[in-house]
Structure 1
Amino acid sequence: MNCSSYIKAFLAVFAFSFVGFTTAQAQDLIARQAPIDKKLKNIDSLTLQRQIDVVREEYPALSLYPNWNNTSVHAYGKAEVPESFEIDLTGFVMPTDSRRITSKFGYRWRRMHNGLDIKVNVGDTIKAAFDGRVRMVKYERRGYGRYVVIRHYNGLETVYGHMSKQLVEEDQYVKAGEVIGLGGNTGRSTGSHLHFETRFLGIAINPALMFDFPNQDIVVDKYTFKRRGGRTAATNSATASYYRVRKGDTLSGIAASKRVSVNNICKLNGIKKTSILRPGQQLRLY
């Protein structure tokens, strides 16, 4: 392969990566046109990997999501959902300092409530939960009101609804903890609050399985999503409750504070009363 042919092949890979080609497909394409010279092969691989890294940085979780658009919150009806996927929650920042949940995830008034409502006042700062890129900044009079959708590098998308003001723009890169808007009461809302959703490939996951607003912490460092019953369910039930072990915690102390029995915690988690608890360990309570 001459230099001109190599450049054309590389540009083809680059172009395809922007329209939704997966990393594996890009690598297959370059492999079919790879030069015989071993040294040049290594150079090609390094160059390709650098370009793949650039694309990944520009489009978070590109290998998971089939597209990037600024038109629809739920745009992944035809996405291929993996059987299991580990979501890294480290590096988080709580989206609000408020600890009060006013409405939980689940059915409410005969319709599904796909997030948590957290009490905030008009003008309170709302922050990005993780590093990522803003996919949507929109207004829905009969829905989210003024809202922001961010796609994160860990595979999650987070939705922040009913804000009084949005302080970011579509396609903008944000860091965890960066202020993205102000609390409000816009859209379909009966009082000032933050509607907060966590989604994986469009599938709503109960934020309480990952975010502990009363304690201003995450529930576990790594959350494992497991596909169950098609595309409509995540691994954990919305009615389940979890606790993230902190330094100095004991089974009896956790059981007493959460009003559950030690025996029940042991049964649900496959542990013994004498088991040593590790900080960061996730325990199912019921």
Structure 2
Amino acid sequence: MHLKRRIKTFAITAILTMTAATASAQDLLARQAPIDRKMKAVDTLALRNLIEKEQVGSPSAQLYKEWSNKYAHRATELPDSFLINLRDFCMPTTSKVITSNFGRRWGRMHKGIDVKVYIGDTIRAAFSGKVRIVKYEARGYGNYVVIRHYNGLETIYGHMSKHLVEENQVVKAGEPIGLGGNTGRSTGSHLHFETRLCGVALNPALMFDFRNQDVTGDTYMFHKDSYESESVLANKARGKDAGDMAQADDSDSSSKARKASSSNSGDVRYHKVKRGETLSSIAKKRGTTVDKLCKLNHITKRMRIRPGQILRYS
């Protein structure tokens, strides 16, 4: 009799316990449901904020629909206006000498700036970004690199002697990407430097001041309807100086004036080789010696010089 009562009591207790646990679990789930909904909303908001921050930090994501390692540049539709962030930059080379401006040259458009560098000089990334192209083009850029930057620009570095990066590599501003050279369609060692927006070439002088080794400002506001006229003004303000002198009229009076200016000021001067010129004729014209020309340009007397080649003479 006592055994039956104990079994009955145990069974009732177990049923009540299970009922209470089920009710408690249901209460817990009921309380947890609003929390789950709130957390889901928070996660969605955080993800949205993260995406917005990435888009603000990387305008290039808004401008370019594809990533390709096949072509150097492909023009797409330009925005009517676009603010380009020039902060955290690094000059691609320490050279201050522009040997050829952006614009029409020899019957065709020269879509970059030529900067005098020597073979082996370090070439650096102008801004942080990702390397899109590392290639060799025999009849064009020679050894070249294309980098897409977070500020929306793409920069091209041509005629280098050696690549120091690989495609799809992330680089920081100032990181070495290659060495100066004379490869491809080039008549003398120099860096061909281009800045492009949506594949369209913009004058680097609008943003870079090589002579002062600086940018023109913290930002540059691109306007599709005015950038061409701004480019002309930029060339006048920040274009080549000694290079212009080499292409100017070489009359005796102007030549003597340049020689006097060179000897008195101590400025670095360059000569652009013309057809038929030799080291001796250049030395005579510039009031220097063949030995000095060879020493300044790291060449030998027997080395052949070509039309268009840039030689330092002081």
TM-score range relative to shorter protein: 0.5 to 0.7
Q: Which runs of 4+ in 1 moved over 2 A?
A: 36-42, 47-57, 233-238, 241-244
1:121/1:44 CA distance change after superposition, 3 Å: same
1:213 is displaced (CA, Å) by 0.6
Name the residue aligned to 1:42.
Answer: 42
Q: 1:182 to 1:48 in 2, by over 3 A?
A: same
Q: CA deviation at 1:234?
A: 3.0
Normalization by structure 1: what TM-score?
0.65
Offset at 1:243?
Answer: 6.4
Change (3 A) 1:69 1:168: same
Given that residues 146 and 166 in structure 1 are in contact (C-alpha distance below 8 angstroms), is that contact kept between their aligned partners in structure 2?
yes
Aligned length in residues: 202
Larger radius of gyration: 2
- The answer on whether the counterparts of 1:131 and 1:153 sit within 8 Å (CA) in structure 2 is yes
Structure 1 pair 60–223 and aligned structure 2 pair: CA distance change class (3 A): closer
Alpha-carbon displacement from aligned partner over 1:201-240 (angstroms, at most 9, x marks no partner): 1111110111111111111211001112xxxx73643210
C-alpha separation in 2, matches of 1:43 and 1:95: 42
Shift of 1:56: 8.7
- Alpha-carbon separation, structure 2, partners of 1:157 and 1:237: 20
Aligned-partner Cα distance in 2 for 1:87–1:227: 13
Asked whether the equivalents of residues 146 and 161 of structure 1 are also in contact (C-alpha less than 8 Å), the reply is: yes
Compared with structure 1, are the counterparts of its residues 60 and 178 closer, same or farther at alpha carbon in structure 2 (3 Å cutoff)?
A: farther
Q: 1:220 to 1:236 in 2, by over 3 A?
A: farther
Q: 1:132 to 1:169 in 2, by over 3 A?
A: same
Identity %: 57
Whole-angstrom CA distance in 1 between matches of 2:56 and 2:206: 27
- Say which of 143, 167, 182 aligns to 1:185: 182
The C-alpha deviation readout for 1:103-155, integer Å capped at 9, x for no partner, is 00000011000000000000000000011100100110000000000011111
For residue 83 of structure 1, the aligned residue among 80, 83, 88 is 80
| Residue from 232, 245, 251 that aligns with 1:239 | 232
Q: For 1:220, which of 217, 230, 236 is the aligned residue? A: 217
1:115 aligns with 2:108: no
Deviation at residue 54 of structure 1 after TM alignment = 6.8
Unaligned runs of 5+ in 2: 1-35, 239-314
Partners of 1:54 and 1:172 in 2: CA distance: 19
> What is the SS of the residue equivalent to 1:194?
strand
Name the residue aligned to 2:65: 66
Task: Pick the aligned partner of 1:149 from 140, 146, 150.
Answer: 146
TM-score, length basis structure 2: 0.60
> Can you list the C-alpha shifts for 1:71-97, whole angstroms capped at 9, x where unaligned?
1112243xx422111101011110000
CA contact (8 A) 2:55 2:62 kept: no
Amino acid at match of 1:83: D
C-alpha distance in 1 between matches for 2:88 and 2:54: 21
Distance 2:189 2:60 in 1: 32
In the TM superposition, residue 66 of structure 1 has moved relative to its aligned partner by 1.4
Unaligned runs of 5+ in 1: 1-35, 245-286
Q: Deviations over 1:44-73 (max 9, x none)?
A: 12134436767998x872121111111111
Equivalent runs, 1:102-141 vs 2, <5 Å: 102-141=99-138
